[in-house]
Amino acid sequence: MNPSVPSVTVAVLIADSNRMQAQLLTSALRRRSEFKISTCPIDTSSILRAVAASPAKVVVLSLNHSIDVAGQMAALRQVHLSHPAVAKVLLVESYDRLLVLNAFRCGARGIFCIDNTHFRMLCRCIQQVADGQVWANTEQLRFLLDLVSEVPTLSVLNSRGQKLLTPREEQVVALVAEGLSNRNIALELVLSEHTVKKYLFRIFDKVGISTRVELVLYAVNHGDPGRAAWLAGMKAVPDS
């Protein structure tokens, strides 16, 4: 046996809305002995039927930016919820921060940009995600690392949709809603516990409540989650 050829064939399902592109990609991958290739349209029902008919180790979803991207991402998410053990690779022509974050949130194990990339790298990507690894380039990993290092904010609005709290108070509310203690909130925001308590008293007074439980409930019903306004180690958001 040739040691360069894997002993286990990886079943790969290609989901693509572009029939010509799917045929070209399928033909190229079928020349590789390590893969067993099948195809289907890129919609939830078609993918689920194809996986049920012929279980796949990897599903490659070729994203078509000219049609409903949200629908294609929803299909990725539904396939992930139905078959979490199946690795998913999103094949894209280009990407931005939002697309990368949404893809990984929807269950992708890899994002592969086909522009100016050698075909052998795609084969390597498929093989790696089949082996349980994650495929992402340096920029995509930076997007993910920036996300997990962010301090969340949670805008609290009144009945007229107006903000009630300062940016710093919104951060405190978001961290309370996540279940952090005053001590941990102080560590996260580089404040003293006494200062955190002062923020909480001000928040309670503005919102018209008196306990953390009431604050969490209020935040759930009136909150609007937003992007980070401040990162640990950087200049704090001023009150205004």
Q: Are 76 and 30 in contact (CB under 8 A)?
A: no
Residue of 52, 1, 60 lying closest to 25 (CA atoms): 60
225 pLDDT tier (thresholds 50, 70, 90):
low
> Do 135 and 111 touch, CB atoms closer than 8 A?
yes
pTM for this structure? Answer: 0.64
Higher pLDDT, 239 or 68: 68
H or E element in which residue 89 lies = strand 87-92
State the average pLDDT over residues 141-167.
Answer: 76
175 φ/ψ angles, rounded to the nearest 5 degrees: -75, -35
Helix (H) or strand (E) holding 151: strand 150-156
> Percentage of residues in the chain with pLDDT exceeding 90?
45
Cβ-contact 53, 59 below 8 angstroms: no
End-to-end Cα distance, the chain: 71
What is the pLDDT of the chain when averaged over all its residues? Answer: 84
| Average pLDDT over every residue of 32-42 | 93
Helix residue ranges, H only, 137-226: 138-149, 167-177, 182-189, 193-207, 212-222
Q: How, if at all, do strands 58-62 and 87-92 pair? A: parallel
The answer to whether the beta carbons of residues 58 and 11 sit under 8 Å apart is yes
pLDDT confidence band for 69 (50 / 70 / 90): confident
Which amino acid, residue 148?
V
pLDDT category, 236, cuts 50, 70, 90? very low
**pLDDT, position 222:** 65
pLDDT higher at 151 or 16: 16
* pLDDT class of 231 with cuts at 50, 70, 90: very low
How far is Cα 65 from Cα 53, in angstroms, rounded to an integer?
Answer: 28
Q: Report d(CA 146, CA 237) in Å as an integer.
A: 18
Predicted confidence at residue 152, as pLDDT, reads 63
pLDDT digits (tens, 9 = 90+) for 207-218: 888 998 888 887
- Rounded to whole angstroms, the Cα distance separating 226 from 133 reads 30
Output Rg (C-alpha) for the chain, integer angstroms.
Answer: 23
pLDDT at 79: 94
Q: What is the mean pLDDT of residues 167-188?
A: 87
Q: Do residues 10 and 57 lie in contact, with contact meaning Cβ atoms separated by under 8 Å? A: yes
* In contact, 124 and 200? CB cutoff 8 Å: no
